[in-house]
Structure 1
Amino acid sequence: MLLKQGYNFIFVCLETSHKTLYEWLEFLERNGEVITVEKKQWDGRKNLIYRYRYASRVPLKDRDSSLEANWCEVTVINEKTQKIIYRNSWITNHKITENNIEEIVKAGRSRWKVENEGNNVLKNHGYNLEHNFGHGQNHLCELLLSLNLLSFLFHTVLDLVNYTYQKIRELLVTRTSFFNDIRTLLKFLWFKDWSDLFSFILSEYVPFKKVNSS
């Protein structure tokens, strides 16, 4: 369907769901046609080994008319302990080479970046987005969804371009604390506008300090 619309693709490809493809990969590996590339990277605490493997024009199904795709895999290993930290594989219609394998893998992994930094934030970190709000008979749930998305959009823009908002988020690091503190202030105090509210937070904020009970 994607190809008919003129799109490219990078899809997760697991052995449990693509048995024919992995049977072909076993054959190609025995014949030296699965290429391996290794790169090392320091993540700030430890050295990681990124082991990339890829092969070209592998059939997805066991029939002559099957679509062929290019396959790649990454395994991330702690160099010191040799423990596998992450492993995943994908299929794509992009040509895979030693020069672009890292970029293709990053694109494949970005799906989870969207999931974790987008949907998860909306559901669990202050916006209270639900699959179905369950309000109203006609369009109220769509309205609430739109307001959630608009607020997330504007907060993202402010985080990029607005100095005052950036300073507020430095003080109230998580979105949950940001929403909770603003909710508490608005419950007990009146502010003429958002600028007035933010100025109050910046001027009155006192960082919490742990008291040593000993």
Structure 2
Amino acid sequence: MVEIFRQQLESLPDKRTGKNSRYGMEDAAMSAFSVFFTQSPSFLSYQRTMEQTKGRSNAQSLFGVHKIPTDNHIRDLLDPVQPKEMFPVFETILETIEQKGKLQRFRGFANNLLMALDGTEYFSSKQIHCHHCSSRKMKSGEIHYFHSVVTPVIVSPHQSQVIPLVPEFIVPQDGNDKQDCENTAAKRWLLQHGSKYSAFKVTVLGDDLYSRQPLCQMLLEQQFNFILVCRPESHPTIYEHIEGIALPTVVVNKWTGKVQETYTYQYVNGLPIKDGDDALLVNWCELTVTRPDGKVVYKNSFATNHLITEQTVVEIVLAGRTRWKVENENNNTLKTKGYNLEHNFGHGKEHLASFLATLNILSLLFHTLLELVDDKYQLLRSHLPTRKTFFNDLRALTRYLVFDSWDHLLTFMIQGLELDLPPNSS
């Protein structure tokens, strides 16, 4: 996969026209990627020192970097490069996961893959900005500049991993006076990438922002199913239709280990999502979770195109609730679990912020790939107690020792923990 990645990087557009080409574009991009993959902001600094003292480095042996550019060189070379140059790598990794038979375990209700959509910010500043920045005016009159992105992710209620897909950046669009927004970016993603993913048989998950007729219709036109949060305050027509009628109800009691909770499901099919003769008909369901003292600990409702019955309502709601994994296991992981997505690694004047964010998301995807298909990586992650411990060890080892390959590094860690190597591995 590193070799496939490098081949894609070798095709990156190069703004340089003169003879100043000491560093290849692939070296600049792979160097940046190595920082995110190892979760070590100082990784390149350590490798430069290692190259001087040992004559070689892990940047070369593990990531295939021929010459390590300076941080300023990396920012300057990558600033003109658009994120879309990296999108084929996302698709290749997803194909690899499917070919290895690991995608099937992510399938849920109706044998669908669950694709959660969500927007998240990855840069914010009061001073630094570019023409791709969005902005908001605070009550104080101060202007805040920020970058944000829609992150489609394959999730499953039964899998701890998530599979990031090609992102869609929320940026001002040419010829449009309105500021770009999450909903518009999601539609743009569907038009550009929907046909590639609809063949996988997908149900799209999202919060209340997405459950509007134009987006729902676009999902259906692109041959996606959907289960989207549907709140009373934003869907008055739906709630007017169910007011005062007896709704089909399913009640399930669950023991949490400390207390028994009552799950009450209600549903109805064929409701107009908005007022008007052209309204799209959707199916609606709601889950209320209560404790024995009557306290409501969870309540949410969903609109879907899946037919809801007594037999399907529990699975449909479980699928709808799984959308939270795009926040917990993807966006929050990228922000708070070492990837440092919100850190300003470089803003640039053109695409640097979004290109580096793309490499950061890709680094999470590479780790997901390893968790799903690599026996040695799986063994290590199962025996190292936390993600933090694993990356602390990775940083320390690559700072002091040179490894010939990733296999050498993983084998060294396994032997250091006195574990048996997986079968069929050397």
Compute the TM-score of the two structures, normalised by the length of structure 2. 0.42
After TM superposition, the structure 1 = structure 2 runs for residues 40-189 of structure 1, keeping only pairs within 5 Å, are 40-78=253-291, 80-130=292-342, 134-189=346-401
1:21–1:183 CA distance, 2 compared to 1 (3 A): same
Distance 1:167 1:6, change over 3 A: closer
Q: Which moved more, 1:149-158 or 1:89-98?
A: 149-158
Query: Quick one: distance in 1 between partners of 2:256 and 2:372?
Result: 25
Q: Which amino acid aligns with 1:97?
A: T
Cα 1:131–1:14 change in 2 (3 A) is: farther
- Offset at residue 19 of structure 1 (A): 2.0
Code of the aligned partner of 1:157? L
Asked whether the 8 Å contact 1:75–1:86 carries over to 2, the reply is yes
**CA offsets per residue over residues 78-122 of structure 1, 9 Å max, x none?**
3x4443221100111222110110111122112112221122212
Inter-partner Cα distance in structure 2 for 1:131 and 1:6: 37
Call closer, same or farther: CA 1:7–1:194 in 2, change over 3 Å.
closer
Q: What amino acid sits opposite 1:88 in the alignment? A: N
Paired position in structure 1 for 2:251: 38
Give the drift of 1:15.
Answer: 1.1
Could you say what secondary structure the match of 1:173 adopts? coil
Give the whole-Å Cα distance in 1 for the aligned partners of 2:311 and 2:274. 28
2:290 is aligned with what amino acid? I
Separation of aligned partners in 1, 2:295 and 2:310 = 24
SS of equivalent residue, structure 2 residue 287:
strand
Residue 9 of structure 1 aligns with which residue? 226
**How many pairs are equivalent?**
201
Structure 2 distance, partners of 1:185, 1:202, is 13
Q: Does 1:21 align with 2:234?
A: no
Aligned-partner Cα distance in 1 for 2:222–2:411: 50
C-alpha separation between the residues in 1 aligned to 2:261 and 2:345? 43
In the other structure, the counterpart of 1:195 is 407
Structure 2 Cα separation of the partners of residues 69 and 23 of structure 1? 14
For 2:269 and 2:355, how far apart are their aligned partners in 1?
47
Between 159-168 and 185-194, the greater mean CA deviation after superposition:
185-194
User: What is the DSSP-based 3-state SS (H/G/I as helix, E as strand, rest coil) of the residue aligned with 1:39?
Assistant: strand
Q: What residue is the counterpart of 1:211 in the other structure? A: none
Question: Over residues 34-92 of structure 1, what are the superposed CA-to-partner deviations in whole Å (9 max), with x where a residue is unaligned?
Answer: 111111233455433221001122223333333332210011233x4443221100111
Cα separation, partners in 2 of 1:172 and 1:144, compared to 1, 3 Å: farther
1:138 is displaced (CA, Å) by 4.3
SS at 2:219 equivalent: coil
Cα shift at 1:194: 2.7
In 2, are the aligned partners of 1:126 and 1:175 still within 8 Å (CA)?
A: no
Q: Which has the higher contact order (CA 8 A, sep 6+)?
A: 2
Q: What secondary structure is seen at the aligned counterpart in 2 of 1:198?
A: helix
**2:310 aligns to what SS in structure 1?**
coil
Cα 1:198–1:49 shift into 2, 3 Å:
same
Shift of 1:144: 2.6
Is the contact between residue 70 and residue 91 of structure 1 (CA under 8 Å) also seen in structure 2?
A: yes
Partner Cα distance (2:346, 2:314) in 1: 43
- In the alignment, the residues of structure 1 paired with residue 227 and residue 381 of structure 2 have an alpha-carbon distance, to the nearest angstrom, of 35
